[in-house]
Amino acid sequence: MKYLFIIVAFLFCSFSFGQSLSKHHYNPLNKNSNLDVKDRQILDYEHVIGDDSPDETWVITGDSVLTGDLLLLNQGKLILQEGSALSISGNLVSLNTSQILAQHADLIVAGHYYALGQSVMQVDFCNLSFPMDYRYQYGIFVMDTANVSIRDTDFDFADGQLEGSVIGSASLNFERDSFAQSVTISAMGESVLNVESCVNAWEFLLTDSCSASFAHNESLILWFYFPENVTANYAFPAGVWVEDMDFNQTIPGLEEIPYSVSIDSCTNVNWGMFPMAGSNVTITNSDMRTCGWIFNDGGEHTVTGMMNEQFYAMESFNPGDRQLNLVNSRVRTWNFYSMNASLLNIEGCFYGEALSMEDGTIQSFGGICDGSGGYFGANHGNINAFASQIECQVVMEGRSSGTFINSELYYPWAEHVFAGHSIAVFANTERNQGFSVRDTSFLVDLALDSLSMQSIGDFVPVRGNAQDFVGQDAPYFVNEYRLYYASADLPDDRNLIAEGISGAIYQDVIAHWNTHGLMPGDYILYLQAIINGAYDEPVEIAQDVNLYDFTGISTESNFDFSLYPNPATAAIYLFVPESNTNCTFSVFNVAGEQVMNKKFESHAQPIKIDIRNLAKGSYFLKTDDKVLSFVKE
């Protein structure tokens, strides 16, 4: 049986990164992970308002560009007057009682916005842009008792989606806003969230003791957390139009729910839920857009057999620490999340999203991730795919690691993104899209062909991938690639095929293996990527291959017959003994059907045979008393 194994030895550098608190980074035990913004020295910011003069005011009247982070503190003010435009290539941070005021202006922030202390942001009739290259690259985070109000404003996030949170006793207000791309906002703590008359705001997560209201909106997905050790029984409203709905502890079946949600006259409303550890939740007569499982206890968990777009007449799910009961209900998308050093095994599932955060690990064995819930990735976590089909974008951020083995990536709309200090290895994994590798990230793509129907006594072309992708600030790179072989009986007794192989080889010949003098049988090919001095061990994959002896069906006088190249795409060349002035040959497919027959009465060496009309696959070329095999690619 063919097999492949992989050895990865990476020594991660220390790396710190402010983490956001959205669905993808939710951690009820560490809700202040963003507060390190406060602790930065003022000198760390390129631009400061309200330092030397506590009530300093900047008034923007035309087009202005700031390179680097902008900090407001004390009673500092930033005012954008009508017709002005301010572009900030960095984070925007407001502290204390500072204010950001903008009317009929353009504000562009290529970074995060943090509102802390008692700061205020008030934006009216503006264009607010967070230009992103990938989803959740930037976000809005409103904390402490800060107040952010954005009204009659058009949002644009370029190629990304905006994440964020409102936490503590802070408040966030969206009114009559239009979103070119959606947001993912978490309401946590005792915060207040108000979304009114907005278009395509889309995704909000509701938990803790927050108070949230949604009125006259078009297109929402609302995630309801069922906290730890809570028992609940609920039926979500049917249809996509919700005229009047309350979700709080006064509703029968929700007596233990600590937060409050009201919905008034909203259309295209979709329901999501998070049953947390220890909860016992029963959902009846509901059409759930999504159900997410968060594992954050540091233990190991396994989920199996969960399938998107399934209707459950009566089904219970228990991954070992919680109970979800579905009665006459449908789940359109299952999502999975691991954090706090938890290990989650996803086995044979058809699901919508898988994310690892905060040192969590996700391992997907088989199954399909179709992206209906988001993407496949990690943020300060580890993610591994084995024989899996991933039909969505892969995004790895922060200090993350990933391996993709014998899997398939199919996502034609955007490159897979590796940012921060992420490190990934792809081993015999097919894909139809490229990689965007940024910052200090590093990626190695290795593959080896199985070399089907190859004969001893030839220079066998070994095909595959030998590629590396390095972020602009990465401190390491691949020095070279090396190719070895060993007998399957003595796998540690290696022989060098080639060294000094340069990278950027993708689905092409890595090296030619001289098989003269070898016995037919099973062998192992090893492909190594030798990393520069930061690592003691190479990255390596190995592939089981077979070599055959086709000379046994030939007469001794025909030992000079040979074919080249093999595999081939357009033509093969047949070498025949000089004594054979007349040459007749036939080509058969693996089913034994003759697909070609030709005769050459006199010939020059070699004979060119056009195979462009043959389908891809394995074939046998038979002369009078000689059989040769070849592969059409």
Confidence of residue 7 (pLDDT cuts 50, 70, 90): very low
Q: Determine whether 599 is exposed, middle or buried from the number of CB atoms within 10 Å of its CB (0-12, 13-18, 19+).
A: exposed
386 & 455 share domain: no
Q: Is the dihedral of CA 611, 432, 156, 212 positive or negative?
A: positive
Backbone φ and ψ of 184, nearest 5°: -130, 105
pLDDT digits (tens, 9 = 90+) for 82-123: 999 999 999 999 999 999 999 999 999 999 999 999 999 999
Confidence of residue 18 (pLDDT cuts 50, 70, 90): very low
431 & 369 share domain: yes
425 & 307 share domain: yes
409 & 519 share domain: no
Q: What percent of the chain has pLDDT over 70?
A: 89
Distances from the Cα of 251 to the Cα of 245, 255, 261, 354, 602, angstroms: 10, 7, 11, 32, 93
Least confident range from 20-34, 264-278, 512-526, 585-599: namely: 20-34
367 & 385 share domain: yes
466 & 395 share domain: no
Backbone φ and ψ of 229, nearest 5°: 65, 20
158 φ/ψ sector (left φ>0, alpha ψ -120 to 50, else beta): left
* Counted domains in the chain: 3
Q: Give residue 12's pLDDT.
A: 31
Tell if the pTM clears 0.85, that is, is over it. Answer: no
Q: Give residue 552's pLDDT.
A: 46
364 & 427 share domain: yes
Q: Give residue 3's pLDDT.
A: 34
In a domain, 32, yes or no: no
Q: Give residue 560's pLDDT.
A: 60
Say if residue 429's pLDDT is above 60.
yes
Of residues 441 and 619, more confidence is placed in 441
Estimate to the nearest angstrom the gap between the alpha carbon of 378 and the chain centroid: 7
405 & 504 share domain: no
Of residues 456 and 447, more confidence is placed in 447
In a domain, 11, yes or no: no
Q: Give residue 453's pLDDT.
A: 72
Q: Determine whether 238 is exposed, middle or buried from the number of CB atoms within 10 Å of its CB (0-12, 13-18, 19+).
A: exposed
CA–CA gap between residue 624 and residue 604 (Å, rounded): 19
Contacts of 529 (CB under 8 A, 6+ apart): 444, 446, 466, 468, 478, 481, 538, 539, 540
494 & 563 share domain: no
Strands 70-72 and 192-196, by their bridges, are unpaired
Which residue, among 230, 234, 194, 186, has the nearest Cα to 211 in the 3D structure?
194
336 & 409 share domain: yes
CA–CA gap between residue 403 and residue 414 (Å, rounded): 20
In a domain, 106, yes or no: no
Least confident range from 275-279, 325-329, 398-402, 612-616: namely: 612-616
Arithmetic mean of pLDDT, 119-138: 96
In a domain, 157, yes or no: no
Say if residue 357's pLDDT is above 70.
yes
Out of 386, 414, 439, pick the residue that ends a domain: 439
Contacts of 208 (CB under 8 A, 6+ apart): 28, 187, 188, 189, 190, 191, 225, 258, 259
E-assigned strand segments in 61-138: 63-67, 70-72, 77-80, 85-89, 92-94, 99-103, 106-109, 113-115, 120-124, 127-132
Mean pLDDT: which of 21-25, 124-128, 564-568 is highest? 124-128
In a domain, 251, yes or no: no
Say if residue 1's pLDDT is above 50.
no
In a domain, 398, yes or no: yes
Say if residue 616's pLDDT is above 50.
yes
pLDDT digits (tens, 9 = 90+) for 544-568: 998 887 654 333 333 467 777 788 8
Which residue, among 462, 461, 417, 458, has the nearest Cα to 435 in the 3D structure?
417
CA–CA gap between residue 42 and residue 177 (Å, rounded): 33
Average pLDDT of the chain, as a whole number: 88
Distances from the Cα of 350 to the Cα of 324, 370, 470, 604, angstroms: 18, 7, 32, 57
Q: Give residue 625's pLDDT.
A: 65
pLDDT digits (tens, 9 = 90+) for 63-87: 999 999 999 999 999 999 999 999 9
In a domain, 383, yes or no: yes
Out of 424, 439, 454, pick the residue that ends a domain: 439
Q: What percent of the chain has pLDDT over 90?
A: 70
Q: Give residue 581's pLDDT.
A: 61
Q: Give residue 21's pLDDT.
A: 31
Of residues 416 and 569, more confidence is placed in 416
Least confident range from 120-124, 482-486, 515-519: namely: 515-519
CA–CA gap between residue 34 and residue 38 (Å, rounded): 9
Out of 380, 414, 439, pick the residue that ends a domain: 439
Question: Residue 516 is part of a domain; what is its CATH number?
Answer: 2.60.40.150
Of residues 607 and 289, more confidence is placed in 289
CA–CA gap between residue 382 and residue 396 (Å, rounded): 9
- Domain hosting residue 365, numbered range: 298-311+330-439
Assigned token pair, 314? 């009566």
364 & 377 share domain: yes
Estimate to the nearest angstrom the gap between the alpha carbon of 426 and the chain centroid: 13
448 & 540 share domain: yes
Question: Residue 619 is part of a domain; what is its CATH number?
Answer: 2.60.40.3080
Backbone φ and ψ of 461, nearest 5°: -75, 125
Least confident range from 204-208, 266-270, 608-612: namely: 608-612
Say if residue 369's pLDDT is above 60.
yes
CA–CA gap between residue 169 and residue 120 (Å, rounded): 13
Assigned token pair, 490? 């003595």
In a domain, 474, yes or no: yes
Q: Which amino acid is at 162?
A: L
Q: Give residue 630's pLDDT.
A: 85
Length of the chain measured in residues: 633
Which residue, among 114, 92, 88, has the nearest Cα to 19 in the 3D structure?
114
